Structure 1
Amino acid sequence: MTTTHTHKRRVPLWDNARWIAITLMVIGHAILKLIAEADAAYTLYLFIYAFHVPVFVAVSGYFAKSGPPDARQMHRLLTDIILPYVIFETIWTGVRWLLSGKLVPEKLVPDYSTASWTLWFLLALLVWRIALPYLVLLRYPLLISIMISIGAGYLPNIDGTFTLARALGLLPFFVFGWKLRQWLLTDTWLELRAGIIWRWRAGAIGLFALIYLIIALNIETLRDLQVRRFLLYNEAYGVFDYSEFWAGGIRLAVMLLAFVLIVAFLMLVPRRTTWFTDLGAATMYIYLLHTFVLYPLRETGVLDGPQPGWVLPGMIVLSVAISIALSLPVVRRVFRPIVEPRARWLFRSTAATPTDTIVVPSRDNR
């Protein structure tokens, strides 16, 4: 009964957005090995990365709580973020150790300060959720988060340690998602008539087509300018030879474009229930598990060097299939203990006072 009630409260728009965004992420990871040799793959890669990570971060921010955290929220930080991170970082350590072919004890020691592959998102999400209640106390949280993001890019000591560079770099999109809820834009959008909706959608389609065309026509220039490095938000500008004072302006331009594309993307997402709406509730399973499926393709050298023309569309189809497969109920049942660990054994059965003394009910209150 509880599950049914919760399901009715879910808005299809957001589950649809989650699943499409995470599928685009799988595609981006799947075609990474192709971008060095194929301009078509690199064009698609830059197009996807111009908005899909910002969308995913903004959706997370939309549902974030901005008030002081209560016991339930603190509990969820542990079970939804910290424990899965520790579990999967440990698993990746074991995978690398096994594939190294050498019984080197040092390789079996996890480095929890450096996130493996996609696990950076969990650490960044932890930072964003902790920071949001403090940011919203300020008068202009979105503007301040943008300044933090741009400023962080000038500091080379802010790097991948505990994924701090990405956490600060992508912070504006998390705050932007939270602001979307404050502005009630989604409620207004869901109430618009179909005729008006399609006018906006036509504009969004035109914008995405224009962005794709611009990227395709200037792909060699964009490759030379290392625009991809700006889209990842994980390095200081000077690391990839942008030591000039105006380098932050490029991040700002990329960020402002991403804000527009986030809104355009949400306009194109179906508002009603679709065949993939229910799959949108399993995005964390896709996110954490798809890397194990793609890892052999990326590391065995199968995709190295020039590839036949059918490989790019083939990888896109494979990515969609992976996203669907990892959303299935059977996958969620099997992997729930490591993706969504409840860890009841970890928590106290009774509450504690601020002085850490256990509250024992009096006989009169029993």
Structure 2
Amino acid sequence: MHGTTPESAGGAPPARRTKTRRVPFWDNARFACIVLVVLGHAVQRLTYDSKIALALYVAVYAFHMPAFAIISGYFSKSSPPTKRQMARVITDILVPYVVFEALWTLTKWLVEGRADPNLTQPSWTLWFLLALGIFRLVLPYLALLRWPLAWALLISLAVGYLPNVDSTFSLSRTLGLLFFFTFGWWLREHRIVERLGLLGRRPWWVGAIAAVVLAAAGWIAWAGLELWEAIDLRHWLFYEDAYADLAGEQWWAGGVRLVLMAIALILSAAFFALVPRRGLWWTAFGRYTMYVYLLHSFVLYPFRESGVLRGLDPTWFWLPAVVVASVLIALGLASKPVRTVLRPLIEPRPRWLIGDAALAGSGGHRNDPTGSRRPRDTPRR
């Protein structure tokens, strides 16, 4: 599925190599998800002055990170990790996390004149790197249980009742989204996508229903803005705060999260139903979502902090402009020039850190933490 070739078990190369077909849908879905991530962060400052921007923000946050977690889980393995897979957690997740935390500390010190270096509190978007690492560590244990999906759901609901589980190492948000990651793995484990033929030709009415569902979500987000602001819905959608901080000591708070999770699944399904199945000119960009994820916050930071996104009028012009800019930012950050220059930061190969240098990703195919496996852009000798 990911353009890989089987490796020889012995010293001699195999007599015949076969190349599996890469499925464009997953790259399309990854790129569409990362565009939503950029859009959600880009539109955030507009929400203070524009009701329609706030409605868009709520609609996007209702499902975009759950959808991203589902994709990541779909390409994760529940078998005990090999040495190479364990090394990749270090090289692909922990090392970039430390590097970008250092960069954010330096940026805040230069721009704001203050810095609070603390690896236990992820800066802005870096929480998802830690989440992916924790997901990978937890999944093999969940898979051993009789009902892994049910246990994951229970954990995601129960963690909100524990105020001592907070944003340290992004644990509260990670466990809050654990169900979606496990659900993605469960889909692959039980071959649900193949059995239902979900990647084949879809009837026109499937796309029509999906479009209606997403449009309805947008309308509800707009029509109920006063209520969503009153209950602080945006913080519920972060899956980060304890219920005590959102709804007081109400025993039914877990039910609210359960409803939001069900909505996230429905909207994610509608979103995936609209993702193109065939290869398009932008499909290849879906292989490099981690570049976009780690870098887009630095692009948006000056605009968010300078206040230029506040008070923009008319909204009918500036909101579409921000949407278009979000797409262009995602395309630009996934482009080959950016990857060539910044690969050492995003895809480090710290041979000095790993005891066995061969495990540090010295060559061959690379995975990004979301599960996209791809060939090298340029051959190495």
Instruction: List structure 1 runs of 4+ shifted beyond 3 angstroms.
Output: 2-9, 188-194
Tell me the CA shift for residue 18 of structure 1: 0.2
Matched, 1:204 2:216: no
8 Å contact 1:33–1:304 — kept in the other structure? yes
- Choose the corresponding residue for 1:94, options 88, 93, 106: 106
Instruction: Please provide the CA RMSD for this pair.
Output: 2.1
- Choose the corresponding residue for 1:317, options 320, 324, 335: 324
In structure 2, relative to structure 1, the CA distance for the partners of 1:333 and 1:4 (3 Å cut) is farther
**C-alpha distance after superposition, 1:107-155 (max 9, x if no partner):** 3x62100000000000111111000000011111111111111111111
Question: Which has more radius of gyration?
Answer: 1
Matched, 1:329 2:363: no
Residue 77 of structure 2 aligns with an amino acid whose one-letter code is K
Matched, 1:154 2:161: yes
**C-alpha distance after superposition, 1:270-325 (max 9, x if no partner):** 11101111000110000000001000000011123464322211111111110010
- Choose the corresponding residue for 2:78, options 66, 74, 83: 66
Matched, 1:244 2:255: no
1:21 is matched with 33
- Choose the corresponding residue for 1:35, options 37, 42, 47: 47
Query: Aligned pair count?
Result: 345
Tell me the CA shift for residue 198 of structure 1: 2.2
In structure 2, relative to structure 1, the CA distance for the partners of 1:350 and 1:312 (3 Å cut) is closer
The structure whose residues are more often helix, as a share, is 1
Distance in 2, matches of 1:63 and 1:268, equals: 20
8 Å contact 1:190–1:271 — kept in the other structure? no
Farther off after superposition, 248-257 or 217-226: 217-226
TM-score, normalised via structure 1 length: 0.89
- Choose the corresponding residue for 1:50, options 40, 54, 62: 62
For structure 1, the 5+ residue unaligned runs are 352-366
Tell me the CA shift for residue 193 of structure 1: 5.9
Distance in 1, matches of 2:244 and 2:180, equals: 23
In structure 2, relative to structure 1, the CA distance for the partners of 1:238 and 1:305 (3 Å cut) is farther
Aligned 1:1-366 pairs, distance under 5 A: 9-101=21-113, 107=115, 110-188=117-195, 190=197, 194=201, 196-305=202-311, 307-309=313-315, 310-349=317-356
Secondary structure of residue in 1 paired with 2:237: helix
Tell me the CA shift for residue 77 of structure 1: 0.3
Tell me the CA shift for residue 343 of structure 1: 1.1
Distance in 2, matches of 1:52 and 1:350, equals: 37
Distance in 2, matches of 1:43 and 1:191, equals: 30
**C-alpha distance after superposition, 1:177-233 (max 9, x if no partner):** 001112323224557763x43222222112112211222111111111211111100
Distance in 2, matches of 1:40 and 1:332, equals: 35
2:368 is matched with none
8 Å contact 1:32–1:45 — kept in the other structure? yes
In structure 2, relative to structure 1, the CA distance for the partners of 1:188 and 1:134 (3 Å cut) is same
Distance in 1, matches of 2:210 and 2:245, equals: 34
**C-alpha distance after superposition, 1:60-85 (max 9, x if no partner):** 00001100111011011011100000
**C-alpha distance after superposition, 1:332-357 (max 9, x if no partner):** 11111010101122222489xxxxxx
Secondary structure of residue in 2 paired with 1:254: helix
Distance in 2, matches of 1:192 and 1:25, equals: 24
Distance in 1, matches of 2:279 and 2:357, equals: 41
Distance in 1, matches of 2:75 and 2:199, equals: 22
In structure 2, relative to structure 1, the CA distance for the partners of 1:3 and 1:212 (3 Å cut) is closer
In structure 2, relative to structure 1, the CA distance for the partners of 1:121 and 1:219 (3 Å cut) is same
8 Å contact 2:193–2:199 — kept in the other structure? no
Residue 286 of structure 1 aligns with an amino acid whose one-letter code is V
Farther off after superposition, 297-306 or 157-166: 297-306
> Between the two proteins, what is the percent identity of the paired residues?
48
Secondary structure of residue in 1 paired with 2:169: coil
